[in-house]
């Protein structure tokens, strides 16, 4: 079984990664965070999922969705990016 300290470290790592993760990783990041919060005993599964979604929204840089989408597409198709 994973020690509680390791769970807490993984929760912090994933929460920090959310700010820079590509939008395509949204579902994975939210699911992983929710599972860890549930496993740590912080929340029931439904609440953990809602908290993870909120963490994603709070971690993401605020901006125009279209500009964000265009920047993501540009980074995917720019050689060497």
pLDDT attached to residue 61: 74
pTM (global) more than 0.75: no
pLDDT attached to residue 1: 60
- Token pair listed for 27: 């579902």
Domain count, the chain: 1
pLDDT attached to residue 51: 96
CA distances from 17 to 3, 38, 40, 46, 66 (A): 21, 19, 19, 22, 22
Per-position pLDDT tens, the chain of length 81: 668 899 999 999 999 999 989 888 999 999 999 999 999 998 999 999 999 999 999 998 777 778 778 878 888 887 765
Which structural domain range is residue 64 located in? 4-77
């Amino acid at each position: 079984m994973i020690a509680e300290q390791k769970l807490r470290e993984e929760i912090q790592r994933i929460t920090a990664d959310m700010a820079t993760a590509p939008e395509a990783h949204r579902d994975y990041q939210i699911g992983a965070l929710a599972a860890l919060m549930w496993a740590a005993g912080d929340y029931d599964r439904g609440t953990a999922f809602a908290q993870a979604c909120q963490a994603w929204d709070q971690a993401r840089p605020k901006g125009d969705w279209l500009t964000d989408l265009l920047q993501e597409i540009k980074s995917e198709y720019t050689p060497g990016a």
